[in-house]
Each structure stands twice: as structure tokens, then as C-alpha cells.
Structure 1
Amino acid sequence: MTVTTETRHFRTLFISDIHLGSKAARTDFLLDFLRYHEAETLVLVGDIVDGWRLKRNWYWPQGCNDVVQKLLRKARKGTRIVYIPGNHDEFLRSFPGVHFGGIEVAERMIHEAADGKRYLVLHGDEFDVVVRNIRLLAYLGDWAYDAAIAINVVLAAIRRKLHLPYWSFSAWAKLQVKQAINFIGEFQNVVAEEARRNNVDGVICGHIHHATMEDIGDIRYINTGDWVESCTAIAEHIDGTFELISWQKIALTADIKALPMPKDKREDMQAA
């Protein structure tokens, strides 16, 4: 059954980890999402542009330009857009308070929701021990993730021929490694502690590509996920409640004006 998608309006939208400049970036899905979701404020929670990959190998297809232009158009039409840099776009951390085409750069921010609750908003890489203290290992891990994405393409083709459902090797590998070192849980606890130090009610972050909304003690922990695999965003409604949106699930069942997508990607998503 096809679901007709209409434009939804929110008080605030939070998006992170788009990784423009990476071949894995789902710019087609993101453009559709931005077309059907409007907000008074849009917060880009880091790793929007993937400077690490662009330094290694320049890759900037039309889809990346389209995303940038879409964001700039929203800013011109009155949407407040705040860009909080992450580790992959850390070059922007030298420009706090500067506006680029109506997009404001900030290291972090305190977001006051409609219900009066306050949330610390930051990318989160400063609480990742690997990124902060073992830079080379972080780069190697980034390269390994690129390789895992490439393996995904091959495995997906093989599994289609065998009539097997889609299975993400990169997501599985990432989860296995992070489970081994208890990374996700420790990251969440440390970020929640930072929120307590800032005397706020919750924290909104990205970085680990693991979308969730949960309570850690007295702190509401919210992670925006990513636009590489999960295609997720966090939306604040007019009453201050939050919603985790998984766009790829909606996009496959909705009557949307989707931009052209490579056939292999569309088949993979349909098999998921």
C-alpha cells in the first residue's frame, strides 16, 4: 500500500553525519527528506562535509551541490540554520559565530525546547578517545569503513542473485567492533555526564552513527544517527516533544518525488 507523503512542519530539525564528499553519502534520500520537512530552525550537528575523505580523494558529484544549494535556499527563505562542526569538518571550528550564506557556525549550543527543557547540542567527537588521542588509528578506522562500504556493494549484488535479503556488512562490522570495546555505551555515558556538568536536561549529538532517544539517569540522550546508512533525523514538535525519523523506511512506501537513484542502491533499500 502506497502512502502519500505531505510536507511536515516542525519547530526544530537536527541532522548530522551526512559526509558530503563520501561515495557512501545518501544525498538522494536527504534531498527528498529536506523537500518534505520544514522547520523554524535546522541544526547541522557535525560531519556534514567529509573533509578527511576529500583530502584523500576529491569526490563531489552533483548531489553534494544540490544538498548545499537546498540548505542555502532554506536559509534565504527564513529558516535559521546552525552548523556545529564535527571531526570530519573540523576546519570550520576556526569560524565560530561566522555566517556563511545565512548559515551560522557554532562550536556547540544550548537548545531550549518549547516545553522549557534545555539540551546541550554538540557533535560528540571530543568524547571519543580514539579521535582525540589516537589520531592515526581514527584515520585508519575511517579508511576501513570506506572499504566496508565497498564490500557492501559486492555482497549486495551476490545476495540479490541468490535471492537473499539485504544485509549490511559495514553496519555489522562497525557494531561488532564497538560492542567489543563497549564503545557506544561508554560514549553515551560520557556525553550524558557532560550534559550534567552544563546543568541541562538532555544532550543532542551525532558522531557514532547510532540513532536513538533514551534516558541515561536524569539526562535525555538523543543521537541523530547519520545519512550514510540509517538516514535518520531528530525532529522537535511544536509542543517540545521529540521524534526520531527514519526516512529510508518512509521513502520506500511513500508516493514521493524521489530524485534518480542508482538502480543497485534502490534494489538494496527495497530488499532491506
Structure 2
Amino acid sequence: MKKVKLHRKRKVDVVVISDVHLGTYGCHAKELLAYLKSIKPKKIILNGDIIDIWQFSKNYWPTSHMQVVKYLTGLIAKGVQVTYITGNHDEMLRKFVGFKLGSFSIQNKEVLELDGQKAWIFHGDVFDVTMKHSKWLARLGAHGYDLLILLNSLVNFICHKLNRNKVSFSRSIKNRVKSAVKFINDFEQVCAEIAIENQFQYVVCGHIHQPEIREITNGKGAVTYLNSGDWVENLTALEYYDGKWHLYRHQEDAAAPQDLHHLEDVTAESLDTNQLFLNLISEFNLKRA
């Protein structure tokens, strides 16, 4: 009998994942599941926009998206600490802030002490002017972004067939449009300055889909700004181990499992939206050990 070679899981202290957008066409749920299966974390922080409730549709909920939920709840059942920090696309969960069940909790923010250093962790939409004053515009932008990702997927499929390099429309827009670049820079600067003011050594965000680790200084001090990116375009996460933060990029991980193609992307067309949410809730209805 042929032996199956098992890959040893990497041990990490903390993993921060944000902007997965489960329930949308752009979400790379299979790749995320492969990543989660490759690590052994002590604590997972889901830093907002994990389930995209804004764009949730009864016509699109693939098996691979539910598999991510099932795997996370399996980790919770084993006692792995999982904190769900609310974002803007899953803002309806804010009514459940403070909820705790076993090793799972829902919060708006979290402060961690890591080797004597304090990390301030939150999604980041609180600093988005568009979110605060024109929520309808933000929702419209979200739908436009999802359409752009769909178009990008089609173009990259053709590029793959022609042996051409992949392209990213969204990344090109962010890098070339001055207002987009300014928004990202302003976002990072505001987060850093408030963190410095409150004497945090790290500030960890998501929201803008821009993975980053860099030091930001001002006249009052310095802070390490970190952004976990997303699982729509960048496929990135933040990991803390060996006393420092690391930026994980799935596309650069040659050891990442790639054996998830057997999962069928069966949509939930036969279920109405209420039933889908009941199914999701039932996954989190864990019994205490």
C-alpha cells in the first residue's frame, strides 16, 4: 500500500485574517482552507469582512465557502482561541459584540500583549469617511468591486491559456489613481498616529485590502503598522511567531496544499436566505466540552 506523505503543520502563536468575503464570487475559499490546514495556531483573529453579508445571496454559497466555516468551528471545538472582530460588510454582527461561547468570541476590537508589546487590532472601517457619511456609496462600490474581480478572473483565465502573466485591475487602479493612493496613505497614517498616542507598539488592521508591515513614526514616537490584506486578490495573512510579525502570501508558499480541487462548488439555490443563515448559525452552535 502506498503511504500518503503528511505535511507537518507550522506552529504559529497568532494568525490574523481579514476581508475573506465569503459569499462573493471573488473569494478564494479553497486557498484559504488550504492555508488553514497548513498551520497550527494558538489563536486566530478574524479581523472583519469574513462573511460578506452586504452581498449575501441565496444563489451563491459554494461548498468550499461552507467548508471554511466548518473548519473554523472544528478548531473552536478543539479549544483554539478564535476572535471574530466585526467589519463593515458583516456589521450586523455588531449587535452580538461581547458574545462568548467556549473559545469563540465576537468583538469590535482587541488588544493583545505579545512578548511585552501591545498590539491594537481592529478592522479599520471606523476611519473610512465614505463608510461614516455615505454608506450607500460604499455598498455601490462593493458591488462594483465584485464585478471587477469577476471580469479580472475571466481575463486571467484567458492569460493562463495563452501562457501570459496574471494581471490585477484593482491593484493597478489603486497604484495609479492618486486619490486611491492618498486614501491608503491617509488611512495608514491615521491608524499609526492614534496607536502612538495610546502607546501601542503594533496597530493591526484590514479593510483596505493592502497587505503591509512597516514602521511609521511621527514627533511623538513610532509604531509598527500591519495590514492583513485579503483573500480576494492578495491571499495574505499576518502571523506572529518567534517574537515577531510575518506577512504570509499564499501565492509565494510552495508548500501550501493544493489538493482541494475535489470540492464541488455546489451553490445553495434550493435554500432561501433565512435557511442559509440558520445553517451558518448551527455550525457555530457548539456544545461546551
**TM-score, with structure 2 as normaliser:** 0.82
Per-residue CA distance 1:201-231 (angstroms, 9 max, x = gap): 1201100011110011101100001111111
Whether the 8 Å contact between 2:25 and 2:150 is mirrored in structure 1 is: no
Deviation at 1:26, TM superposition (A): 0.6
| Residues 258 and 64 of structure 1, relative CA distance in 2, 3 Å threshold | same
2:141 & 2:178 partners in 1: Cα distance?
12
Question: Which letter does structure 1 place at the counterpart of 2:176?
Answer: Q
Highest Rg: 1 or 2? Answer: 2
- Alignment size in residue pairs: 254
| Aligned residue number for residue 223 of structure 2 | 219
Q: Which runs of 5+ in 2 are unaligned?
A: 1-5, 264-289
Structure number with the higher helix fraction is 1
1:181 & 1:170 partners in 2: Cα distance?
12
Secondary structure at the aligned position of 1:142 is classed as helix
2:225 & 2:256 partners in 1: Cα distance?
33
Deviation at 1:102, TM superposition (A): 4.1
1:75 & 1:255 partners in 2: Cα distance?
22
| Aligned residue number for residue 52 of structure 1 | 54
1:180 & 1:11 partners in 2: Cα distance?
34
| Aligned residue number for residue 42 of structure 2 | 40
The structure 1 segments of at least 4 consecutive aligned residues displaced by more than 6 Å after TM superposition are none
Question: Which letter does structure 1 place at the counterpart of 2:195?
Answer: A
Per-residue CA distance 1:23-75 (angstroms, 9 max, x = gap): 111110110101011111111110001011116x6521111110011001111
1:179 & 1:36 partners in 2: Cα distance?
38
Question: Which letter does structure 1 place at the counterpart of 2:226?
Answer: I
1:158 & 1:46 partners in 2: Cα distance?
32
| Aligned residue number for residue 9 of structure 2 | 7
2:190 & 2:47 partners in 1: Cα distance?
18
1:246 matched to 2:228? The reply is: no
| Aligned residue number for residue 268 of structure 1 | none
1:246 & 1:5 partners in 2: Cα distance?
18
Identity %: 37
| Aligned residue number for residue 195 of structure 2 | 195
Deviation at 1:160, TM superposition (A): 3.6
Which of 149-158 and 214-223 deviates more? 149-158
Q: 1:253-264 counterparts in 2 under 5 A?
A: 253-254=254-255, 256=257, 258-260=259-261
Q: 1:143-222 counterparts in 2 under 5 A?
A: 143-177=143-177, 179-180=179-180, 182-217=182-217, 218-222=222-226
Whether the 8 Å contact between 1:122 and 1:206 is mirrored in structure 2 is: yes
Q: 1:29 aligns with which of 28, 31, 50?
A: 31
| Aligned residue number for residue 16 of structure 1 | 18
Whether the 8 Å contact between 2:35 and 2:256 is mirrored in structure 1 is: no
Question: Which letter does structure 2 place at the counterpart of 1:40?
Answer: K
Per-residue CA distance 1:224-252 (angstroms, 9 max, x = gap): 01111111111111x421111101221xx
1:178 & 1:130 partners in 2: Cα distance?
17
- RMSD (CA atoms): 2.0
| Residues 181 and 29 of structure 1, relative CA distance in 2, 3 Å threshold | closer
| Aligned residue number for residue 62 of structure 1 | 63
| Aligned residue number for residue 228 of structure 1 | 232
**TM-score, with structure 1 as normaliser:** 0.87
| Aligned residue number for residue 111 of structure 1 | 112
